[in-house]
Structure 1
Amino acid sequence: MQSDPYTSSPPLSDHYTTLEVAKMLGMAVRSVQLMVDRHELDAWKTPGGHRRISRASVEHWVSSHRHMGADTAEPAGNAGAEPTAAIKTHNPALKAAPAAKQILLIEDSVHFQNLVGLIVQQHFPDVVLHVANDGIAGLAMYGQTQPDVLIVDILLPGIDGATLITALRSQPQFTRSHLIVVTSLDTAQREPYAFALQGVKVIHKPRLVADLPAALAACLPSAKAPT
């Protein structure tokens, strides 16, 4: 019979604390806790109620997501290729145009991916929109596209938006990108992520249709203005 992971534990050397995993993966502790809740990492609790995470599951997660980042990136020059499940490109015919402005949206909700796509198509038809479904794919896509505008959701699978923003800010090329954060979290719920949001334009998702066109126009002054 398979043992209950919350009542039994492997030897000490085979597990990490939540904080240790957060530091290893460059994530917030809360993000690691959510990964455990989603069963992306194997965990159990000590008699004192402290969570321990399997070393093997962490190594498996790192390996699988590293491969995912490489496999889902679109090949250079393959502008007409069918988008992958993790990364999609709107207006692919414009991808190779040097003068075309580019937006990268990192968002796991298909509904909001489509909504942002419609907004961009309506107000900025000459702009190329790339879409990544999670933080890991988003990091890979950012390195490839060097977008003029980066739109990031806070709650993402793999790496939360605040941690992703912090990681990108350490890269010199990030200074050329305008940053917009979109979120369903209200002001109070954003507090754990405040370290990454200071000075950043944040749009509440219920206000996306009303507020995103003007925010993009401010970042893309040479593109078509909102109508």
Structure 2
Amino acid sequence: MDDPIITTREAAELLGVSIRTAQTWIEQNALDSWKTPGGHRRVRRSAVIDLKARLAGEKVQLPSLVLVHAPQHRLRRYVEPLDLLPECTVRASSDPFATLLTAGYLLPPVILVDCEADDDECLRLVRAIIGHPSLGHTHVIMAGDVNRDVARWQVTARRVHVIAANASSVALEEIVRRLFDGARESMHPAATPLTGEVAGNESQRLMAVAASGLVDTPAENAFDDITRLAATMLEAPIALLTVLTPDRQWFKSHWGLETGETPRSWAFCNYTILQDEVFVVEDATVDLRFAENPLVTGEPHIRFYAGANIRDAQGYALGSLAIIDRRPRSLLRSQRDALATLGRLASDRINLRIRERQLRWAMAPTAKRSLTMDD
């Protein structure tokens, strides 16, 4: 199996920590490494994945990314206090173009922009960030004397936060902590009234869902074809490609069902993502986990369910490919294998979409145009 050799910087990005933290873990032998003839540290990608899994199993909260944009001479006043916060890792840039590329590639939960009232370039950067659908989850902290009518950009108080340019380090740390605490509270399993077990890496899984940029995107034929094929091959009236957010079961594709989402607490897929094999419920009315579920007692009157995991390139379960029937039934082994194969196909297409998005952001002309749009 392919197990590439990666740099300390790449390991840090994969873990979601600062390079300094990754170097510390290497020095503490938490990560096996070696030095090249030139004196540079290298690690195996599999070792980084193993460490990430151990951290998740120990309920360690990996730091979240804060992306800082400011003039070169003012970067330190933002980076230094934030770099001391254990709950975050910091990336910084003075180039609006590079900042936008990094934002589109890494999808950070918080971006801080040093933005004076007469700085049109920074204002365009903020507008590009808040106007892009892939960054719909991102909060923007605007540091400076901002007098523009930001309402015309359709900015809501929930996503944009203004602080004074001379705000103290304590005030900056407080707002970043508040944003992170709010995000983590919404991602914590207790925030969603789920029954049964919850994955030990649920916080990291939800970060992967956010980083995928899938939720609330338009329907695509590439995924509708898979649900239609699943329904046809397995003779089911309903087939769904689901993504599980903190509070929603959102359908990237839904065949035979009109609604586009349900509450997370109703999702059969909560059980699917906990296992590697296809999860099957032959008769939901006699299964104590589902007998009182609103999707069983009411429309669409689920009786039979079978779901296969949908995973990203790092192995996190984003949701499932599921088939549903209104009558009790069972699946042959060959049918389970077919559903699992279609699930892997859906995973591949999702990962291709994620990679395509990253490549689009890496294309300089496209990103530059988004920074030079007229008001």
TM-score by length of 2: 0.31
Greater RCO structure (CA 8 Å; 6+ sep): 1
Pair member with larger Rg: 2
TM-score by length of 1: 0.49
